Amino acid sequence: MAITAADLRDLWGEDVLHIPLGSLGESSRMNSGDFPPDGILPMEVPILFTVLIGRDDIEMFTSLTIEPTEGAAASVMVIGAVPEDPELLFVLNPASSEVLLLDLPQSTVETVNSTLSVFVEFLYRLGRLIANDPGGRERAERATRIRSELVKEDPVAFAHPDTWWSTAFAELAKAK
């Protein structure tokens, strides 16, 4: 499914930010397909994502240097946080186009999505499910269907049972 800027605005209205593409730096290897339509990023998707980081020392679009246990140091841009945990930041690696989850206390990173565009599509698809949550068995069935579609779009996001998206979908798929 190719989402459009109109789709994003229909769901999120004016509650969006536009990613400052000029601040990605010279190391950026991102192409136009790596960006969401109009550079749109939601302000919030309940349970999953927020731009309200909740920290005094880090702001949106701040550049950080991370040093993963494997590989070289990388410069990343903060694009959000997990709503209930400001120690878990979503960051964009402009050199690889990946969206990563940075666990500040553990100093670990996990690949969330292979591109920013796919990350925003995942947020959009789950945002629609959350906004129109039927609950119970129907929610579980919809979540399972959405997951099977998104696995095809970005298999990296579901590479292990404990990845961010695998965990999120496991919770949504539980019938209540």
Whole-number pLDDT of residue 74: 82
How many of the other CB atoms lie within 10 Å of CB of 111?
18
How many of the other CB atoms lie within 10 Å of CB of 174?
11
> Rounded to an integer, what distance in angstroms lies between the CA atom of residue 132 and that of residue 135?
9
44 and 87 co-located in one domain: yes
Q: Is the pLDDT of residue 69 over 70?
A: no
Residue 175, φ and ψ in degrees, nearest 5: -75, 130
Q: Is the pLDDT of residue 176 over 60?
A: no
The sign one gets for the Cα dihedral 73, 42, 151, 154 is negative
Whole-number pLDDT of residue 100: 95
Residue 98, φ and ψ in degrees, nearest 5: -75, 150
91 and 53 co-located in one domain: yes
Answer yes or no: are the C-beta atoms of 120 and 112 closer than 8 Å: no
* Domains of the chain: total: 2
Residues in contact with 141: Cβ distance below 8 Å, sequence separation at least 6, in sequence order = none
107 and 134 co-located in one domain: no
Q: Which of 114, 137, 158 is the last residue of a domain?
A: 114
89 and 150 co-located in one domain: no
Q: What is the mean pLDDT of residues 148-173?
A: 92
166 and 79 co-located in one domain: no
Using a pLDDT cut of 70, give the percent of the chain over it.
Answer: 90
Q: What is the mean pLDDT of residues 3-11?
A: 94
Q: What is the mean pLDDT of residues 11-16?
A: 93
Residue span of the structural domain in which 138 resides? 120-172
The pLDDT mean for the chain works out to 88
> Rounded to an integer, what distance in angstroms lies between the CA atom of residue 134 and that of residue 20?
36
- The pTM score is 0.91
Q: Write the pLDDT tens digit of every residue in 16-59.
A: 998 876 666 666 677 767 889 888 999 999 989 999 998 889 99
Selection from 23-32, 62-71, 130-139, 153-162 with the highest mean pLDDT? 153-162
Q: Which of 114, 129, 152 is the last residue of a domain?
A: 114
SS3 117: helix
51 and 129 co-located in one domain: no
26 and 95 co-located in one domain: yes
Residue from 63, 6, 64 nearest 40 by CA: 6
Answer yes or no: are the C-beta atoms of 68 and 74 closer than 8 Å: yes
Q: What is the mean pLDDT of residues 76-104?
A: 93
Answer yes or no: are the C-beta atoms of 35 and 49 closer than 8 Å: no
144 and 58 co-located in one domain: no
36 and 56 co-located in one domain: yes
By CB atoms closer than 10 A (0-12, 13-18, 19+), residue 171 is exposed
Q: Which of 65, 83, 114 is the last residue of a domain?
A: 114
Whole-number pLDDT of residue 102: 95
110 and 28 co-located in one domain: yes
128 and 75 co-located in one domain: no
> Which tokens sit at 60?
């949106």
Q: Is the pLDDT of residue 68 over 70?
A: no
132 and 166 co-located in one domain: yes
